[in-house]
Amino acid sequence: MHIAYVTSKGQLAIPVKLRRKYNIKKGTRVNFIEANGKIVMQPVTREYIESFCGIFKRKPGSKPVTQELIEEHAEEVRREEEKIARHGF
């Protein structure tokens, strides 16, 4: 267990063993996430960012999500224009 104390300015010093283990250096961005009554601290390091590489790859033959959204919107516009043409409003 590692212990740290919050200063009067709301600052918190991360223990050196954790900084070394998680490659937290001066200027490293840290995200704070609330989850189930706890505060989770996530350093945004190169390793953390690289862990996301490839998770959004498309399956062979599938369309990009943006293309699907564009096509859905075009279809909605087409249906709305047909409705206007039929009813005159």
What are the boundaries of each domain within the chain?
A: 58-89
pTM summary value: 0.52
The pLDDT tens digits of the residues spanning 38-78 come to 999 999 988 888 887 777 777 788 887 788 889 999 999 99
Are the CB atoms for 44 and 30 separated by under 8 Å? yes
pLDDT band at 83 (very low <50, low <70, confident <90, very high): confident
Tokens, residue 54? 């490839």
Long-range CB contact pairs, 13-16, < 8 A, 24+: 14/41
